[in-house]
Amino acid sequence: MNKLKASDLFKAYKAGIHQTQVLSNISIDITQGETIGIIGSSGSGKTTLLQILAGLESPDRGEIFFNDINLLNNNALQLNKMRNKLFGYVYQFHYLLDDLTVFENCNLVFRISNNKNIKKNSHKIFKILNELGIEELKNSYPYMLSGGERQRAAIARAIVHEPMFILMDEPTGNLDQENANVIQDLTIKLAKDHNIGIMVATHDLHYAYKLDKVFRIENEGLIKK
């Protein structure tokens, strides 16, 4: 089973002569099909951890392995190619492109990777939209959708290229409890049905404790709950 493993991650931000330490000696791993919750107060480093794991940000120290491959040893081009195969990412604010339909937002993933198999890609998109209950919204623009529908569309975009892992940053943070519960259950089902490792940064303890494992970031370190 494929595994993503981070060891001894350290990250600090500098502003002039001042340095703010965000992560210190963070080690964590996730296996395909597993769900993990990352909890902690605002500013504790949850988002930074997810972005480092996804290759969107670099740690100051530490290592990240996909199985036996040290991802941080790859150059930017290699990392970009591998990231497209390994990861999907869901932001707290969905970041759907307003001038593209739901279908076109999802298809953008294939366009960026220069995947031109239109028939196969379309089938994948329709399948995921159907699983998420929004296939009938495929030609709708983001402004036409409710908050819950926009977040489902963002999740669809993150999963259509069949990544091994999805990293989700407060995916229910802007939703009412009813919509939040729907998204929570959908993400857990997707992990199991598609054998995807899902790591969720969340303030919602109810959501976190539905997952296989829960860790808290506290004082720049990681504590298993």
Mean pLDDT lowest among 91-100, 137-146, 207-216: 91-100
Contacts of 142 (CB under 8 A, 6+ apart): 94, 96, 97, 98, 102, 105, 150, 153
Cα 137 from Cα 101, distance rounded (Å): 9
- Are the CB atoms for 168 and 188 separated by under 8 Å? no
Which residue bears the tokens 């996804």?
54
pLDDT band at 126 (very low <50, low <70, confident <90, very high): very high
Residue-wise pLDDT for 69-89, tens only, equals 888 886 666 666 777 788 999
**pLDDT reported for residue 173:** 82
Question: Residue 57: phi, psi to the nearest 5?
Answer: -145, 155
Q: What is the pLDDT, as a whole number, of residue 41?
A: 86
Length of the chain, in residues = 225
Report whether pLDDT(150) > 70. Answer: yes
In this prediction, residue 73 carries a pLDDT of: 82
Report pLDDT digits (tens) over 34-80.
Answer: 999 999 988 888 999 999 999 888 899 999 999 988 888 866 666 66
Chain-centroid distance, C-alpha 116? 24
Q: Over the chain, what is the mean pLDDT? A: 89
The DSSP code sequence of 42-106 is TTSSHHHHHHHHTTSS--SEEEEEETTEEGGGS-HHHHHHHHHHHEEEE-SS----TTS-HHHHH
Mean pLDDT calculated for residue range 113-119: 83
pLDDT tops 70 at residue 16: no
pLDDT reported for residue 75: 66
pTM, two decimals, is: 0.90
pLDDT value of position 221: 78
Q: Which helix (H) or strand (E) holds 156?
A: helix 147-159
For CA atoms 111, 113, 119, 123, give the dihedral sign: negative
Across the range 2-6, mean pLDDT stands at 94
| Percent with pLDDT over 70 in the chain | 96
